[in-house]
Amino acid sequence: MNANVQAIRPAQPEVASESWPFEVARCTPAIGAEISGIDLREPLDDATYAALRRAVVRHKVIFFRDQDITPAQHVAFARRFGKLEIHPTFPHHPDHPELVIIGRNDAKRGRENLYHSDVSWRDVPSMGSILRCVQCPEVGGDTMWINMVAAYENLPEEVKSLIQNLKAAHEFLPLFGIVVPEEQHDEMRKKFPPAIHPVVRTHPETGEKILYVNEAFTTHIVNYGHHTVPRYRFGFDFKLAEMELLQYLFRQAQAPEYQVRLRWQPNTIAFWDNRSCQHYAVQDYFPAVRHMMRATVVGDRPV
């Protein structure tokens, strides 16, 4: 395990119950694994593709070091896992519109330092994201990923019962409104209306239950009153209870026991299951330069 992957515990060898065509080293008991013995410049054969898909579903996020791939190879690798989306606001690579450019420098401070699941504001959010480091500071600019299956599993039973049938709105503008000119807000609302997703979604490949709300895009619970005991005196009692529940659920992502933290190096790649984890980009490196490229695989409608 590379010492630059920071974790609650040192990496542990993958359990021997499964045979992998590459090396797998766990980062924490809850989430994350580093993959070695694979060259992502080469096309994936069916067996390696299937094994990588199992690895990312099992570990939620997997890391690759020293992968000096071209943008075209990045897109080809990502496309092996499904159709790729084109983000409506982030700048794109000039030759590959599926490849988002995330660049921060002394004139542009990052704003990704909040817990979120990519594009949960879409009616069909992403299956996964594949992020490659092109340039990063010597220190700073780490990213954390959070296992939201564990976050759900460890909730008190009464909370699980309360939220099992709740649905929440996920919206584009609360976060991206700052980078979209105000005169275009109405157009973007029409193009990307609020997406309504279950507060607890089911992973389509494992059947796991996932806590699926995030502080970046989830704005409110749309059916709170239909699934709670009517014990309120006034309307503000009801609204405050809904807001307090949502804030409580947001805070589950902050538990270190569910997290892994990666220290980036050039040509490091992180591939995460966007259905079952959230992430947080630590903004402690300004005004240093941090340059990343990301491809996002289209997923499925949460149920």
Q: Which residues are catalytic?
A: 116, 118, 279, 294
Q: Considering all CA atoms of the chain, what is the largest pairwise distance in Å, rounded to the nearest integer?
A: 64
Report yes or no: 44 and 79 within 8 Å, Cβ to Cβ.
no
Strand partners, 93: 96
Burial class (CB in 10 A: 0-12, 13-18, 19+), 15: exposed
Distance CA 237, CA 83 (A): 45
Identify which of 180, 176, 185 has the alpha carbon closest to the alpha carbon of residue 216.
Answer: 176
- Residue 86 sits at φ, ψ, to 5 deg, of -115, 120
Q: State the Cα angle at 83 between 290 and 19, rounded to 5°.
A: 85
